């Protein structure tokens, strides 16, 4: 209901993405002026990459850490300790519900933009997209990355038991994802030890890996199992961290009100 | 009369600074994390260009050293904006309008634009400027540029113009919250449009260049000051940019006075 009620916000969210993408693509167009390819990407393939980032973002983005810290700060969280469903589960269900509705609203707009881009930029030529297998692999990684993002947000939220303003940690998460997740540039452009560093971190699962399966640059037979294992390891680490931090936070928590 | 008004506003601003110092002292950990976050955002800009210049030698006529210098200028202007008007004032304005929290400010005998768009400074934001100054110094040194006091003054003047135009653009966009329901998204929209300043001016040509130079002058917030510092500017451009800044300041004043009429108090 929220998503439908705030149609303007949804529209602005998409508009923001397109404006950001516009600013980045103007620069890349200048980079490609001399012609050729950058790390195997033509300009058209790079544009397709950024469009697919937008598509993957619709699945992997989570904004739980904007609300829970306020509940902790205001003492409203107390009520959740005596309810049969915990706040963590409630927010997960809420995030999933929101996501499904947002997908229904955003997907037609995205598809419209995608078709326009296809006709204007690619002049109706075949798009660099993967097989059905790539689509499924991408979807699977994106769904798990959504859960990973949720766990990350819950860890940030739990910090509100100690820190008054957790917005700074949200920024931390955002610039980490922007820089290390493949939003600013495809991680193929990073070289040497920086690339190795990016491969170990969990951020690549939010954008780069799902997009790479979608555009067929990541071979399923070679990488899927490895990606799944690493993703599961990070999910376990994040889940254990979240549980420990929440437990410690609840012990420290002093409820307000009578 | 004018002097006493100026003194009044200086006294108010000093009170704002005391308030900000107290806030910093109360929230030491938050302030520290805030500084790290600012540095992190600056890092995203630097790494992005570092990756690009790992692939090419030049982008739109700007080499790596010039781009480092440009990034430095952008960071300095951006941090000054964060510290002096954005974090504690402009960023919060749409929400204040939504909640009808402007009543007690509007009844005071103080300029509403000053109170609501300048307000208390975010002192931790000044620390982030260090990254910008370092990048400017590093780009200047490694690029082998020779120092000219005249260019230094000119670059500083253009940076001030860039800062003022940035402030005006934020006020213009954020003031839309007086008439639009979609208030929270407005600051996000402002930030997205302003991100076009991160590109070197050479990437914009034709109508796009005219748009970003005159109508929505993001080029004045980075490329022009950087070029002035490094190479100087012809007199005609200096006069044009000073005039443009003045036009924006005057327009913003009238625009603010017009938009604030649409404020609807939330109290009963």
Q: Which helix (H) or strand (E) holds B77?
A: helix B64-81
Q: Tell me: pLDDT of B60 over 90.
A: no
The more confident residue out of A120 and B144 is B144
pLDDT of residue B268: 46
For chain A, the average pLDDT equals 83
With the C-alpha atoms ordered A124, A125, A128, A134, is the resulting torsion angle positive or negative?
positive
pLDDT band with cut points at 50, 70 and 90 for residue B227: very high
- Dist CA A131 CA A22 (whole Å): 28
- Dist CA B25 CA A26 (whole Å): 43
**A173-198 average pLDDT score:** 88
pLDDT of residue B166: 93
Tokens of B40: 């992190």
pLDDT band with cut points at 50, 70 and 90 for residue A3: low
Is there a contact between A16 and B29 if contact means CB atoms under 8 Å apart?
A: no
DSSP helix/strand/coil, B62: strand
**B13-34 average pLDDT score:** 82
**A8-20 average pLDDT score:** 74
Tokens of B144: 């082998």
Q: Which has the closest alpha carbon to B68: B153, B154, B142, B125?
A: B142
Q: Are B96 and B102 in contact (CB under 8 A)?
A: yes
- Dist CA B71 CA A9 (whole Å): 31
The more confident residue out of A38 and A232 is A232
Q: Judging by DSSP bridges, how do beta strands B58-59 and B62-63 pair with one another?
A: antiparallel
- Distance between first and last Cα of chain B: 37
The more confident residue out of B226 and B112 is B226
**B30-49 average pLDDT score:** 83
SS (H, E, C) B14-69: HHHHHHHHHHHHHCHHHHHHHHHHHHHHHHHHHHHHHHHHCCCCEECCEEHHHHHH
pLDDT band with cut points at 50, 70 and 90 for residue A256: low
Tokens of B120: 């208390």
Q: How many CB atoms lie within 10 A of CB A21?
A: 18
Q: Which has the closest alpha carbon to A60: A211, A206, A218, A242?
A: A206
Note the ipTM here: 0.83
Would you list which residues of chain A are within 8 Å, Cβ to Cβ, of chain B?
6, 8-9, 12-13, 15-16, 19-20, 22-23, 26-27, 29-31, 33-34, 38-39, 163-165, 168-169, 171-172, 175-176, 178-179, 184-185, 189-191
DSSP code for A83: S
Which pTM was predicted? 0.84
Q: Convert the pLDDT of each residue in A31-55 to its tens digit.
A: 888 666 788 888 888 888 888 888 8
pLDDT band with cut points at 50, 70 and 90 for residue B153: very high
pLDDT of residue A235: 96
Task: Write the residue in B43, B44, B195 that is nearest to A23 by C-beta.
Answer: B195
The more confident residue out of A19 and B164 is B164
Q: Are A19 and A118 in contact (CB under 8 A)?
A: no
pLDDT of residue B156: 96
Q: Which has the closest alpha carbon to B168: B125, B207, B216?
A: B216
Q: Which residues pair with B20 in a beta bridge?
A: none
Counting every residue written for chain B, the total comes to 268
**B151-174 average pLDDT score:** 94
If you write DSSP's letter for every residue of B126-187 in order, what string do you get? Answer: HHTHHHHHHHHHHHHHHTTPPP-HHHHHHHHHHHHHHHHHHHHHHHHHHGGGGT-S--HHHH
Q: Tell me: pLDDT of A168 over 80.
A: no
- Dist CA A137 CA A225 (whole Å): 10
- Dist CA A240 CA A223 (whole Å): 26
Q: Convert the pLDDT of each residue in B192-223 to its tens digit.
A: 888 899 899 989 988 989 999 999 999 999 99
pLDDT of residue A14: 73
pLDDT band with cut points at 50, 70 and 90 for residue A258: very low
pLDDT of residue B184: 63
pLDDT of residue A5: 56
Q: Tell me: pLDDT of A215 over 60.
A: yes
Task: Write the residue in A12, A23, A172 that is nearest to B188 by C-beta.
Answer: A12
Q: Tell me: pLDDT of A115 over 90.
A: no
Is residue B122 left, alpha or beta, with left meaning phi > 0 and alpha meaning psi from -120 to 50? beta
**Cα dist from B133 to A235, B2, B140, B159, B224, whole Å:** 40, 35, 10, 13, 17
Q: Tell me: pLDDT of A227 over 60.
A: yes
Q: Which has the closest alpha carbon to B242: B165, B149, B148, B152?
A: B165
Angle, helices A132-158 vs A220-252, to 10°: value is 20
Shortest alpha-carbon distance between residue A93 and chain B (Å): 24
Q: Calculate what percentage of chain B has a pLDDT beyond 90.
A: 42
Would you list which residues of chain B are within 8 Å, Cβ to Cβ, of chain A?
27, 29-30, 33-34, 36-37, 40-41, 43-44, 47-48, 51-52, 54-56, 59-60, 180-182, 184-186, 188-189, 192-193, 195-196, 198-200, 202-204, 208
Q: Which helix (H) or strand (E) holds B257?
A: helix B235-259
Q: How many CB atoms lie within 10 A of CB B121?
A: 22
- Sorted by sequence, the CB contacts under 8 Å of residue B59 that are 6+ apart come out as A27, A30, A31, B52, B53, B67, B200, B202, B203
Chain A residue nearest residue B46, CA to CA: A179
Tokens of B169: 């653009």
Q: Tell me: pLDDT of B51 over 90.
A: no
- Dist CA B59 CA B84 (whole Å): 32
pLDDT of residue B73: 95
Q: Are A59 and B232 in contact (CB under 8 A)?
A: no
Q: Convert the pLDDT of each residue in A78-114 to its tens digit.
A: 777 777 777 788 888 888 888 888 788 777 877 777 7
For chain B, the average pLDDT equals 88
**B140-167 average pLDDT score:** 94
pLDDT of residue A151: 94
């Amino acid at each position: 209901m929220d998503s439908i009620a705030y149609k303007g916000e949804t529209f602005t969210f998409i508009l923001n993405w397109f404006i950001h993408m516009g600013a980045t693509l103007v620069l890349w167009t200048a980079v490609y002026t001399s012609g050729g390819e950058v790390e195997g990407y033509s300009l058209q393939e790079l544009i397709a990459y950024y469009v697919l980032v937008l598509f993957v973002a619709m699945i992997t983005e989570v904004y739980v850490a904007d609300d829970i810290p306020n509940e902790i700060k205001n003492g409203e969280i107390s009520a959740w300790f005596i309810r049969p469903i915990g706040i963590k589960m409630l927010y997960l269900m809420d995030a999933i519900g929101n996501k499904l509705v947002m997908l229904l609203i955003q997907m037609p707009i995205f598809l419209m933009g995608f078709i326009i881009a296809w006709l204007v930029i690619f002049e109706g030529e075949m798009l660099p997209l993967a097989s059905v297998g790539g689509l499924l692999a991408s979807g699977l990684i994106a769904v798990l990355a959504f859960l990973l993002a949720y766990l990350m947000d819950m860890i940030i939220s739990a910090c509100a038991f100690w820190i008054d303003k957790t917005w700074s940690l949200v920024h931390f998460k955002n610039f980490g994802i922007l820089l290390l997740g493949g939003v600013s540039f495809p991680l193929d452009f990073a070289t040497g030890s920086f690339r190795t560093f990016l491969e170990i971190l969990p951020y690549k699962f939010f954008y780069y890996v799902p997009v790479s399966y979608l555009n067929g640059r990541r071979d399923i037979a070679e990488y899927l199992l490895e990606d799944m294992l690493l993703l599961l390891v990070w999910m376990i680490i994040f889940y254990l961290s979240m549980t420990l931090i929440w437990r410690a936070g609840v012990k420290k928590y002093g409820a307000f009100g009578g | 009369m004018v002097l006493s008004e100026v003194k009044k506003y200086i006294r108010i601003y000093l009170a704002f600074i005391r308030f900000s110092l107290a806030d910093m002292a109360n929230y030491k950990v938050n302030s520290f994390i805030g500084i790290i976050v600012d540095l992190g955002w600056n890092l995203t800009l630097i790494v992005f260009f570092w990756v690009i210049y790992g692939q090419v030698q030049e982008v739109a006529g700007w080499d790596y050293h010039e781009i480092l210098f440009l990034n430095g200028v952008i960071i300095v202007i951006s941090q000054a904006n964060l510290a002096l008007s954005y974090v504690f004032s402009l960023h919060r304005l749409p929400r204040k309008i939504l909640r009808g929290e402007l009543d007690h400010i509007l009844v005071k005998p103080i300029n509403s634009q000053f109170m609501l768009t300048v307000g208390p400074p975010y002192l931790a934001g000044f620390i982030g400027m260090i990254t910008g100054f370092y990048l400017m110094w590093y780009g200047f040194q490694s690029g082998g540029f020779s120092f000219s006091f005249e260019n230094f003054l000119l670059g500083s003047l253009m940076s001030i113009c860039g800062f003022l135009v940035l402030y005006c653009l934020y006020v213009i966009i954020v003031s839309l919250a007086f008439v639009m329901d979609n208030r929270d998204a407005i600051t996000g929209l402002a930030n997205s449009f302003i991100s076009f300043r991160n590109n070197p001016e050479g990437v914009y040509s034709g109508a796009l260049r005219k748009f970003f130079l005159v109508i929505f002058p993001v080029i004045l917030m980075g490329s022009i000051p950087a070029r002035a510092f490094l190479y100087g500017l012809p007199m005609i451009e200096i006069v044009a940019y000073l005039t443009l800044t003045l036009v924006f300041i005057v327009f913003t004043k009238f625009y603010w006075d017009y938009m604030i009429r649409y404020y609807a108090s939330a109290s009963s």
